[in-house]
Structure 1
C-alpha cells in the first residue's frame, strides 16, 4: 500500500509540475501587455519600461517561471496588478464563497441522484426508471445559467422568497449566507444530478446482474437487502469517479452561475482577471483549479483502493 501511495504521489507531483509550466507559458503568449493596460494608452515608453521592470516582465520566461514556482512553494502567489494586493488573499477570500457553494451543490446532487438512480435500477423499465431517465435527459440538456435565470424569475421576482443575487458574507450569519447560496447551488446541482443519476443507474444495474447478487438472493436475502448491502456498495467506484470530476467542475466551472447571481467567488475573480488582463491572478487561479483537479483524482484513486481491496493487487 505504501508503494502504491508513493507512485501515486510521484505522479501527482510530476503532473502538477508539467501543468504549472504549461499554464505559465500559455499566459505569457496571451496578446496584450499588462503594463500598457495598467498605465493606459497615454503612457510614455519610459514609464512602460519602468513598470515592466518593476513587474519583472522584462526577464526571460524560465527565470520568471522559476521565481513564480519558488513563490508558490513559499506561499507567496505574487501581487495582483489590478487590485494591488497579494493574490493568495484574493483566492482565499473568494474561495470562502465558491467552496461552500460547490459543497452544497454536490450534496444536493448526491441527495437527488443516488436514491433516484438506485430506485431506477431496482425497478428497471418501471415508472421510477422512466422518471429517472426523463429527469436525467432534461437536466443534462439544460444549461446551468438558464436554470439560474429561471430560478431568479420564479423565486426572487415572482414569489419573492429568495434573494436575486449578492452575498452578505459569513459574518452576517450562517442562515443568510446559506440562503444566498441556495439558488446558485440548485442551478449548479441539477445538471450534475442528471449525469450522476445515469451513472448510478448503470452501475447498480451492472452489479445486480453479477453472480454474487444472484447468490445472495438464492440464500434468501430480500431484494432490499441485496440492493443496499451488496449492489450499491459495489457500485461505488464509478459513482465516486463521477463525484470527483463533478466537484472539481463545480469549483472551476461556476463562472457563469456566479456572474448571474453576482457572487464574489473564485470563478468571478477569474473572469474579472481575464477581462482586466491581470496575468498574476489568472495564472494563480488556473493553477489552483488544475491542482484541485489533480488532487481530487488522487483522492478518488485512493478511495478505490479503500473500497475495493482487489484493486490493490492490480496496482
Structure 2
C-alpha cells in the first residue's frame, strides 16, 4: 500500500510540473503585450521597454519559467500587473467565494441525484423512473448560465426574495453570504445532478442483477435493505468517479455563473485577468485549477480502495 501511494504521489508531482510548463508556454505565446495593454497604444517604445524590463518580460522563457515555478513552490505567486497586490492574497480572497459556492452546489447535486437515481433504479419502468429520466435529460440539456438567468427572473425580479447578484462578504454575516450563493449554487448543481442521476441509476441497476443481490433476497432480506446495504455500496465506484469530475468542474467551471451573478470568485478573477492580459494571475489561476483536477483524481483513486476491499487486497 505504501509503495502504491508513493508511486501515485510521484506521478502526481511529475504531472503538476509538466502541466505548469504547458501553462507557462501557452500563456507566453498568447497574442498581445501586457506592457502595451497597461500603458496604452500611445506609450513610447522607451517607456514600453522600461516596463517590460521591470516586469521581467525581456528575460528568456526558461529563466522566467524557473523563477515562476520556484515562487510557486515557495508560496510566492508573484505580483499582479493589474491590481498591484500579491497574487496569493487574491487567490485566497476569491477562493472564499468560489469554494463555498462549489461545496453548496456539490451538496445540492448529491442530495438530489443519489436518492433520485437509486429510486429510479429500484422502480425501473415506473413513474419515478420516468421522472428521473426526464429530469436528467432536461437538466443536462439546459446550460447552467441559462438556468442562472431564469432563477434571477423568478426569484429576484418577480418575487424579490433573493438579491440578483453581488456578494456582501462573510463579514456581513453567514446567512446573508450563503443567501447570495444559493441561486448560483442551484444553477451549477442542476446540470451536474442530471448527470449524476443517470450514472447512479445505471450503476445501481447493474448491481441489482448481481448474484449477491439475489442471494440476499433469497435469505429473506427486504428489498429496501438489499438496495441500501448491498446494491448501493457496490455501485459507489462509478458514482465516486463522476463526483470527482464534477467537483473540479464546479470550481473551475464557475466562470460563467460567477459573471452572471457578479460574484468576486476565482472564475470572475480568471475572466478579468484574461481581458486585462494579466499573465501572472492567469498562470496562477489556471495552475490552481489544474492542480485541483489532478489532486481530486488522486483522492478518487484512493477512495476506490476505501469502498472496495478487493482493490485494497490487490494493492
Please report the TM-score for the alignment, with normalisation by the length of structure 2: 0.99
Whether 2:284 is the aligned partner of 1:284: answer yes
Aligned partner of 2:272 in structure 1 is 272
Segments of 5+ residues of structure 2 without an aligned counterpart are none
Aligned partner of 1:59 in structure 2 is 59
Equivalent-residue separation in structure 2 for 1:66 and 1:314 (angstroms): 40
Aligned partner of 1:37 in structure 2 is 37
Aligned partner of 2:107 in structure 1 is 107
Offset at residue 236 of structure 1 (A): 0.8
Aligned partner of 2:295 in structure 1 is 295
Offset at residue 44 of structure 1 (A): 1.2
Offset at residue 50 of structure 1 (A): 1.1
Aligned partner of 2:84 in structure 1 is 84
Offset at residue 42 of structure 1 (A): 1.4
Q: Over aligned residues, Cα RMSD in angstroms?
A: 0.7
Aligned partner of 1:9 in structure 2 is 9
Please give the per-residue CA displacement for 1:165-221, whole angstroms capped at 9, x wherever unaligned. Answer: 000000000100010000000000000000000000001111111111111111111
Equivalent-residue separation in structure 2 for 1:289 and 1:241 (angstroms): 18
Offset at residue 310 of structure 1 (A): 1.0
Q: How do residues 167-182 of structure 1 correspond to structure 2 at under 5 angstroms?
A: 167-182=167-182
Aligned partner of 1:49 in structure 2 is 49
Equivalent-residue separation in structure 1 for 2:85 and 2:35 (angstroms): 16
Q: How do residues 1-315 of structure 1 correspond to structure 2 at under 5 angstroms?
A: 1-315=1-315
Offset at residue 312 of structure 1 (A): 3.0
Equivalent-residue separation in structure 1 for 2:10 and 2:79 (angstroms): 30
Equivalent-residue separation in structure 2 for 1:66 and 1:300 (angstroms): 31
| Number of residue pairs the alignment of both structures matches | 315
Equivalent-residue separation in structure 1 for 2:118 and 2:17 (angstroms): 40
Equivalent-residue separation in structure 2 for 1:26 and 1:40 (angstroms): 23
Please give the per-residue CA displacement for 1:211-234, whole angstroms capped at 9, x wherever unaligned. Answer: 111111111110000000000111
Offset at residue 247 of structure 1 (A): 0.8
Please give the per-residue CA displacement for 1:246-303, whole angstroms capped at 9, x wherever unaligned. Answer: 0100000001100110000100000000000000000000000000000000000000
Equivalent-residue separation in structure 1 for 2:308 and 2:294 (angstroms): 21
Offset at residue 306 of structure 1 (A): 1.1
Segments of 5+ residues of structure 1 without an aligned counterpart are none
Please give the per-residue CA displacement for 1:68-121, whole angstroms capped at 9, x wherever unaligned. Answer: 000001100000000000001111100000000000000000000000000000
For the residue of structure 2 that corresponds to 1:28, the secondary structure is helix
Offset at residue 313 of structure 1 (A): 4.0
